[in-house]
Amino acid sequence: MTKLAGYRRPHPGTQPDNDYPPYRSTAKRHPTQPLVIAPQTLSELTGPLFGWDDLKPGDNDLTIQHKGEPIGERIIVSGRVLDENGKAVPNTLVEIWQANAAGRYPHKTDRHNAPIDPNFSGAGRTLTDSEGRYRFISIRPGEYPWRNHYNAWRPAHIHFSLFGQAFLTRMITQMYFPGDPLLAYDPMYTSVADDNARKRLISTFDWETTVPEQALGYRFDIVLRGRDATPMERS
Amino acid sequence: MSLYATANQTVGPYLHIGLTWLNRSQIAGKGVPGERVAIQGRLLDGDGEPVNDGLIEIWQANAAGRYAHPEDTQKKALDKGFRGFGRIPTDSRGAFRFSTVKPGRVPGPGGKVQAPHLVVAVFMRGLLKHLATRIYFPDDPANREDALLKLVPPERRGTLIARRRSRGTLEWNVVLQGKNETVFFDF
């Protein structure tokens, strides 16, 4: 095997710590033993790849999955997937899921007293194009209460799941909306210590992708782990 | 240009809405060559309670020890229809089960080959960033020489090695905390 370049480790403070007491569910669900620092091998430098054969047309439009149109403010969420070297990540799977406009998920464990929208399931997926671009059509998700602390409400958010080109670039995150007053109280958002890294979870309003009389545009660029410049003794 | 990777955030409790469409508990379909194996287990929290809203993903080589990925340039055959990816949610008992073929050995650090293993990512509500671990196979003599297993304190290695339950069925649990806490890796 030729030597493969490894992936850089996270910059301090830019990733959440799994032991984060303000988010109460972490207490019994984070490892207490130190992680075993390991070399990156072929097993981690590869990973599952997906293609258009895995998707159906319209999978990236969450507003056309039912007979009627969902209630809510239509949005277009788009952006680019890049690596830490600024290079586009092409043809990679992006999966999203979100609450409806009233802040309700059609899920058996969501008991929030807000209406289910029969025209909105809240899931979508797509592949990035050759320049790492993706685009979803959806509705703006509502905020919703949860029981983490007194009067706890999640800020409006969309869950994003990405694979990149390797097991090491697998990433699940949440996209937030600009100006949301709930962000300051949200322990998932505040779990990221670094100011800039935290703020990069907030999408920006994008006039250019806003469609007149149809939908507001939000831009959310995502950065996956990038590779070291030179191959190291790894595989 | 240099950027920092986007911060991970938890999958939360409603992960199924976005992720179920790609559930794969049969990693190797009919006709894929190799030794058939089913692996079952449970995902348990720090109180030993089942995690009923978790998900594991598997990545593995085929029986010849080749990954279906362009960066694996070994001269070994790929198997048609075998991607090597599994996605399995836990059920109300915190249990998961999947079937596959035992992977072959793949290159490892220092020019040595690794023992057969599956790569595992663990996701759940309450976990801000997913965890990475591995499943090794019982009674495989190659385990003794495996570079990653050797990095693990001997008393904890057992958490990475599945146990034989019956012919063709192995058991492997994910224990988040406590005496038998599973070894997780930082790559």
The reported pLDDT for the residue numbered A229 is 77
Catalytic residue flag (residue A218): no
Which candidate in B1, B3, B43, B90 is best for mutational testing of the A interface (most A CBs within 10 A)?
B3
Closest CA relative to residue B167, chosen from B15, B25, B38:
B38
CATH code for the domain defined by B15-175: 2.60.130.10
The Cα of B54 is separated from the nearest Cα of chain A by a number of Å equal to 11
The reply to whether residue B5 touches residue A223, judged by beta carbons under 8 angstroms, is yes
Which candidate in B1, B10, B21, B90 is best for mutational testing of the A interface (most A CBs within 10 A)?
B10
Choosing from A8, A159, A219, A225, the catalytic residue is: A159
pLDDT tens digits, one per residue of B28-61: 999 999 999 999 999 999 999 999 999 999 999 9
Closest chain A residue to B120 measured between Cα atoms? Answer: A167
Determine how many CB atoms are found less than 10 A away from the CB of residue A235.
26
Q: What is the ipTM of this complex?
A: 0.97
| Integer Cα distance of A221 and A133 in angstroms | 9
Phi-psi region of B27 (alpha: psi -120 to 50; beta: other; left: phi over 0): alpha
| Integer Cα distance of B25 and A83 in angstroms | 30
The reported pLDDT for the residue numbered B93 is 98
The reported pLDDT for the residue numbered A234 is 46
Whether the per-residue pLDDT at A1 is higher than 80: the answer is no
Spatial neighbors of B24 by CB under 8 A, at least 6 apart, are B85, B86, B87, B88, B98
Q: Where do the structural domains in chain B lie, given as residue ranges?
A: 15-175
Contact of A77 with A221, CB cutoff 8 Å: no
> Could you say which residues of chain B have pLDDT below 50?
none
The reply to whether residue B181 touches residue A192, judged by beta carbons under 8 angstroms, is no
Spatial neighbors of B179 by CB under 8 A, at least 6 apart, are none
Buried b (16+ CB within 10 A) or exposed e, B9-27: bbbbbbbbbbbeebebeeb
Whether the per-residue pLDDT at A235 is higher than 50: the answer is no
- B-chain residues within 8 Å CB-CB of A108? none
Residue with tokens 């190291």: A232
Catalytic residue flag (residue A157): yes
| Integer Cα distance of B161 and A84 in angstroms | 34
pLDDT tens digits, one per residue of A114-150: 999 999 999 999 999 999 999 999 999 999 999 999 9
Question: Is B176 in the A-facing interface, judged by CB distances under 8 Å?
Answer: yes
Catalytic residue flag (residue A105): yes
A 157-186 residues inside an 8 A Cβ radius of B: 159, 161, 165-168, 170-174
The reply to whether residue A109 touches residue B53, judged by beta carbons under 8 angstroms, is yes
Catalytic residue flag (residue A30): no
pLDDT tens digits, one per residue of A13-65: 999 999 999 999 999 999 999 999 999 999 999 999 999 999 999 999 999 99
> For chain A, which domains are there?
40-224 (2.60.130.10)
The reported pLDDT for the residue numbered A3 is 80
Contact of B167 with B37, CB cutoff 8 Å: no
Closest CA relative to residue B47, chosen from A221, A210, A151, A28:
A28
The Cα of A173 is separated from the nearest Cα of chain B by a number of Å equal to 4
* Mean pLDDT (whole number) for A198-224: 98
Catalytic residue flag (residue A144): yes
The Cα of A9 is separated from the nearest Cα of chain B by a number of Å equal to 8
Question: Is A19 in the B-facing interface, judged by CB distances under 8 Å?
Answer: no
Query: In this prediction, what percent of chain A has a pLDDT beyond 90?
Result: 95
The reported pLDDT for the residue numbered A5 is 93
